[in-house]
Structure 1
Amino acid sequence: MPNAAAPLATRTLDLTVAGHPVPTPCAELGEGAPALLLPALSSISAREEMLPLAHELGGAYRCLVPDWPGFGAQPRARLPLNPASLNAFLDALLRAAPGPYALGVAAGHAAPYLAAAARRHPGAFARLVLVAPTWRGPLPTAMGPERAAWFGRIRRAVELPLLGEALYRINISPPIIGRMMRAHVYADPAHVTPAVIAAKHRITRQRRGRFGTAAFVTGGLDPVPSREAFLGLFGKGLPPVHVLRPDKAPRRSGAEMDALIATGHVTADSVPGALSAHEEFPQEVAAAIRAG
């Protein structure tokens, strides 16, 4: 049952990733078996997006919800933002907070990282739930691999000290955030309220915020280079994997989810929502987790 009154606490894990100190704030709430909940990677990613789901699960699970390095509603740590660093981050997290976890939940781009971590750390998770799993960033998804040469140029431009900050501010303005959320993040445009947009905008305004966005949007945080490699993460050697496929997922991202489901290496259920179903429809997602 949901535990709306579950007390919320915050702890900071002092991790070291790629030789860099990465203080990692984590939300903790709920009672019961340990669960690790990983937010999606995106321009508006923060642990807060997982808190509605954590509250729903809090009657049965003690949820740990970290921020990814380079993301979240706080100044960002300095470290190379690439798949090797994010894999190393999860390794460091699982050393500092080893569980074992009865449940691992990951949304969006976090899903393949969690699956890879579960393979590297046998016994760390009893089961995995992947909500709207993705592996390819927005520009590679929209533009295709034939334009890959442009992605690095765009990332480098956004990372420049003055021009990059100006480009970043233009592209994370409240109107653009609202348009993006209505297009593929939330399924119901009525849920994209001014308060939601303002909260997401605050996340993007954190110091060094443009680096995580530039890396994610251009495919610099894509954990694998192809669908074949994505599908190859699953199968023998993993705990049971349950995919929650949102019924309003964007066409191209939904096709990748369907390809994973079609392998037979995972079980699957449909849930309402789009790419942020865990945030927009936490009750329904929690019910699917409990039923699975």
Structure 2
Amino acid sequence: MAAGRTLDLTVAGCRVPTPCDTIGQGREALLLPALSTISARAEMRGLAHELARDHRCLVPDWPGFGDRPRARLPLNPESLNAFLDALIAAAPGPYALGVAAGHAAGYLVAAARRHPKTFARIVLVAPTWRGPLPTAMGPDRKPLFARLRRLVETPILGDALYRINISPPIIGRMMRAHVYADPAHVTPGVIAEKHAVTRQRNGRFGTAAFVTGGLDPVETRADFLRLFAGTIPPVLMLRPERAPRRSGAEMDALAASGQVRSVSIPGALSPHEEYPEAVAAAIRGG
């Protein structure tokens, strides 16, 4: 059974109404969706329903993302860290389980460090720390990425550029390329749902920040691995078999560090949405 509520949070001096789903009964769990152009809490609902028989899952939208008009606030790592602090203050748990997908991974691990004993264990699903453009083009072009972000954020031209790059055909191509592992799962209905997410008011700001690396929680692989050093809850990483090469290499580096337990699962960059049963089984087995 699912219920919805809105937490009225304050982040970076801005009021941030935060829609949340609450699904299931039992031990508390916090499920954080990925940060992406098509990110919304709905992507976690299948997994939450799979975990619902023994967990009460809280699934929020990130500020600047989701399937509703987005609040305007500075979109940077400091704001997202502050958002999790405000969320934990409003819904303190403690949580038997914290699950983070994609780019949410680094933020959840950092929050667990700031809030000891809040999470008993952590699961990272296809964790990433570097945005699409820095991953594809390398970190040396940061000035270019910053200019592109500012361009997309401009009132008229930016909105036009954004609309061109989130058309249904482009969303479908992106999802088949690296979001879902099985192209047959990228149905017209799925594409329509994702397109509706992108068309929410102020949607271009979160996309521009994420794609250009403006929401990367760290700057280097070494910084990412350092998040896992010291005293943190046990961490299970779920490594999708069809992850893109560069993102998969970062997951493999984390596994090789010996700081997490790694389990292979089906999928690409959104296995929690495409294969929720397999992800839930891996969580229970881990």
Relative to the length of structure 1, the TM-score reads 0.98
Q: Distance in 2 between matches of 1:147 and 1:13?
A: 38
- Corresponding residue number in structure 2 for 1:176: 170
Say if 2:189 is the partner of 1:195.
yes
- Could you tell me how far apart the structure 2 residues matched to 1:125 and 1:74 are? 28
Q: Deviations over 1:71-100 (max 9, x none)?
A: 000000110000000000000000000000
Residue-pair matches, total: 286
- AA of the residue aligned to 2:51: L
Aligned partners of 1:60 and 1:291: how far apart in 2? 14
Secondary structure class of the residue paired with 2:151: helix
Select 2:81's aligned residue among 80, 87, 109.
87
The CA distance in 2 between the partners of 1:148 and 1:28, in whole Å, is 39
Is 1:52 matched with 2:46?
yes
The aligned residue for residue 270 of structure 2 is: 276
- Cα distance in structure 2, aligned partners of 1:235 and 1:57: 28
CA-based RMSD: 0.4
Question: Which one of the candidate residues 104, 110, 114 is aligned to 1:116?
Answer: 110
**What is the identity, as a one-letter code, of the residue corresponding to 1:95?**
A
Partner secondary structure for residue 201 of structure 2: coil
Give the AA of the match of 2:230.
K
The amino acid that maps onto 2:171 is I
Match of 1:222 in 2: 216
Q: Match for 1:271: what amino acid?
A: I
2:186 maps to amino acid: V
Return the alpha-carbon distance in structure 1 between the equivalents of residues 97 and 109 of structure 2: 12
Alpha-carbon distance in structure 2 between the residues aligned to 1:143 and 1:50: 30
One-letter amino acid of the counterpart of residue 137, structure 1: G
Mapped pair 1:132 → 2:122: no
Deviation at 1:235, TM superposition (A): 2.5
The separation in 1 between residues aligned to 2:61 and 2:211, in whole angstroms, is 18
**Counterpart-to-counterpart distance in 2, 1:85 and 1:148:** 20
1:199 Cα deviation from its structure 2 partner:
0.1
CA distance in 2: counterparts of 1:145 and 1:138, whole angstroms? 11
Give the deviation of 1:237 after TM superposition: 1.3
- Residue 267 of structure 1 corresponds to which residue in structure 2? 261
**1:105 is the counterpart of 2:80:** no
Query: Which runs of no fewer than 5 residues in structure 2 stay unpaired?
Result: none
2:150 aligns with: 156
Identity across matched positions, percent: 76
